[in-house]
């Protein structure tokens, strides 16, 4: 009998060969936003390892939307062309290439690639930081400038432009990053959005810009291909964004034709107390799936095949999204299949090992 983890999953015209997705993970290894051999090998290895979907790390839709000077970006042809060998390789290994489109907002302009804990000054090649409101993440981050209405509209166009380039580069899924305290989440959360215009105040107003972007992406991306949205389902803080807000947001995203909610948490303030532990965010994928009636991905300290299988069997999520375990073990799906008693195709070159 096939396990749930290795049961295919159809979304629009795509069929995921199993329920295992590699989470987006910044590598801080790009120059001028351009992917290189590191990205090819890092992402390619995980495709060889048997995951159904490989999501490329947060990729900025404009230069000031990068978290650090080592981030990927996708707003010009040079960047677009450099993604092509990566999407081709992933597809050659029966996996689906996905890309997370992002804007870092007030958490941008970090220096020291791979140790990005320091603000990069303008003199050192840093850049102006923008946000819904002029409120910094904390004292070690830059003071953001409040975005104007014209800039908000231009940003919607930037996301569309990147989506068109993503399609040309060969991607089959886009994931909109509206989590972890970056720009879209900064609009959603009352802890970072102090605006008094139509983009601040009520939840309808705070959702306005993220929903404009989601709508624009859904209209730009081909109807036969899926769009995912990653959210922070809670700020884990009094007065912050809540799971109830996330259900409302997910219902609106569903109305726009978004296919799946990738349910992460946190990131908008540095002082939240997060009860980290195995599967600590699964409850949010489950609640959104049930209450907003949309497919969800569970993410966060899911490391064991049986743990993943239970989540799916209990109908708490539709797919399992994993990050750090894939850094430890790129071939995790091969081990998972073995442990769950399933057959998995391994590359012909590696058959003698199995
Ligand atoms: C090295 C690293 C880079 C990450 N970069 C991103 C990113 O680009 N976008 C994102 O949404 N989350 C990012 N995350 C968060 C992961 O996608 C994931 O949600 C988190 O690590 C929890 O899952 P895990 O317990 O399986 O690692 C990153 C995590 C790690 C460890």
Per-residue pLDDT at 296 exceeds 70: yes
Rounded distance from Cα 348 to ligand 1 centre (Å) = 31
For residues 90 and 48, what is the distance between their CA atoms, to the nearest angstrom? 8
Lowest mean pLDDT among 38-47, 53-62, 115-124, 146-155: 115-124
Q: Are 217 and 175 in contact (CB under 8 A)?
A: no
Lowest mean per-residue pLDDT among 19-23, 61-65, 118-122, 212-216: 118-122
Is pLDDT of 56 > 90? yes
Distance CA 58, CA 63 (A): 13
pLDDT value for 114 = 65
Identify the pLDDT of residue 43: 98
How far is the C-alpha of 139 from the C-alpha of 294, rounded, in Å? 38
Among protein residues, the one with the nearest Cα to ligand 1's atom 16 is: 323
* Ligand 1 center to 58 CA (angstroms): 9
Please give the positions annotated as active site. Answer: 182
Give the residues surrounding ligand 1 with Cβ less than 6 Å away: 23-26, 57-58, 100, 177, 179-180, 230, 264, 299-302, 322-325
Check if the beta carbon of residue 258 is closer than 8 Å to that of residue 294. Answer: yes
Atom of ligand 1 nearest to the CA of 322: 26
Asked if residue 285 has pLDDT above 70, the reply is yes
Give me ligand 1 centre to Cα 150, in Å. Answer: 32
Residue 354 banded pLDDT, cuts 50, 70, 90: confident
What average pLDDT does the segment 291-308 reach?
98
Please say whether the beta carbons of 243 and 284 come within 8 A.
yes
**Of the candidates 9, 14, 81, the residue with the CA atom closest to the CA atom of residue 227:** 14
Q: Hey, whose CA ends up nearest to atom 11 of ligand 1?
A: 24
Percent of the chain exceeding pLDDT 70 equals 98
Instruction: Specify whether the CB–CB gap between 239 and 107 falls below 8 A.
Output: no
Percent of the chain with pLDDT over 90: 93
Give the contacts of 28 (CB within 8 A, at least 6 positions apart): 68, 70, 71, 113, 114, 116
Determine the average pLDDT of the residues in 210-232: 98
Residue 211: per-residue pLDDT: 99
Q: What is the 3-state secondary structure (H, E, C) of the chain?
A: CCCCCCCCEEECCEEECCCEEECCCCCCCCECCECCHHHHHHHHHHHHCCCCEEEEEEEECCHHHCCECCCEECCCHHHHHHHHHHHHHHHHCCCEEEEEEECCHHHCCEECCCCCCEECCHHHCCCCCEECCCCCCCCCCCCCEECCHHHHHHHHHHHHHHHHHHHHHCCCEEEEEECCCCHHHHHHCCCCCCCCCCCCCCHHHHHHHHHHHHHHHHHHCCCCCCEEEEEECCCCCCCCCCHHHHHHHHHHHHHCCCCEEEEECCCCCCCCCCCCCCCCCHHHHHHHHHHHCCEEEEECCCCCHHHHHHHHHCCCCCEEEECHHHHHCCCHHHHHHHHHCCCCCCCHHHHHHC
Residues 181-204 have a mean pLDDT of: 98
**Residue 100 Cα: closest atom of ligand 1:** 9
Q: Which atom of ligand 1 is nearest to the CA of 302?
A: 26
What is residue 235's predicted lDDT score, i.e. its pLDDT?
Answer: 98
Q: Evaluate if residue 115 carries a pLDDT over 80.
A: no
Q: Kindly give the number of the ligand 1 atom that is closest to the alpha carbon of 303.
A: 26
Summarize pLDDT for 196-219 with one digit per residue, the tens. Answer: 999 999 999 999 999 999 999 999
Q: What confidence tier does 15 reach under pLDDT thresholds 50, 70, 90?
A: very high
Least confident of 123-127, 162-166, 278-282: 123-127
- Report which protein residue has its CA nearest ligand 1's atom 2: 25
Residue 337 and residue 346 in contact, taking contact as beta carbons nearer than 8 Å: no
Residue 117: the pLDDT is: 73
Give the residue whose CA is nearest to atom 23 of ligand 1. 300
Count Cα atoms within 13 angstroms, Cβ side, for 69. 14
| CATH number, span 9-347 | 3.20.20.70
Domain ranges of the chain: 9-347
Q: Cα of 233 to ligand 1 centre, how many Å?
A: 15
Higher pLDDT, 113 or 66: 66
């Amino acid at each position: 009998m096939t396990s749930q983890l290795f049961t295919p999953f159809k979304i629009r015209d795509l069929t995921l060969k199993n329920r295992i997705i590699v989470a987006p993970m910044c590598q801080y290894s790009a120059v001028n936003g351009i992917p290189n051999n590191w990205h090819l090998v890092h992402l390619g290895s995980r495709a060889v390892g048997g995951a159904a979907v490989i999501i490329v790390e947060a990729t900025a839709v404009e230069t000031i939307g990068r978290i650090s000077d080592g981030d990927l970006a996708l707003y010009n042809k040079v960047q677009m062309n450099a993604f092509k060998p990566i999407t081709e390789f992933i597809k050659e290994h029966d996996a689906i290439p996905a890309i997370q489109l992002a804007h870092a907002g007030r958490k941008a302009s970090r220096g020291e690639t791979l140790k990005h804990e320091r603000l990069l000054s303008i003199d050192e090649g840093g850049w102006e930081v923008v946000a819904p409101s002029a409120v910094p993440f904390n004292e070690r981050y830059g003071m953001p400038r409040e975005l104007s209405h014209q800039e908000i509209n231009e940003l919607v166009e930037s996301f569309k432009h990147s989506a068109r380039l993503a399609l040309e580069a060969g991607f089959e899924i886009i994931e909109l990053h509206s989590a972890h305290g970056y720009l879209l989440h900064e609009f959603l959360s009352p802890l970072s959005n102090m605006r008094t215009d139509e983009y601040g105040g009520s939840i309808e107003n705070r959702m306005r810009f993220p929903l404009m972007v989601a709508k624009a992406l859904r209209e730009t991306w081909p109807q036969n291909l899926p769009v995912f949205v990653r959210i922070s389902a809670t700020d884990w803080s009094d007065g912050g964004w809540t799971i109830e807000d996330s259900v409302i947001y997910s219902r609106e995203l569903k109305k726009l034709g978004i296919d799946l909610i990738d349910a992460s948490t946190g990131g908008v303030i540095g002082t939240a107390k997060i009860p980290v532990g195995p599967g600590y965010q699964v409850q949010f994928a489950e609640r959104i799936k049930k209450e907003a009636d949309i497919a969800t991905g569970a993410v966060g300290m899911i490391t064991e095949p049986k743990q993943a299988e239970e989540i799916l069997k209990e109908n708490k999520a539709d797919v399992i999204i994993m990050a750090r375990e894939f850094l430890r073990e790129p071939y995790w799906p091969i081990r998972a299949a073995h442990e769950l008693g399933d057959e998995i195709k391994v590359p012909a070159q590696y058959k003698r090992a199995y």
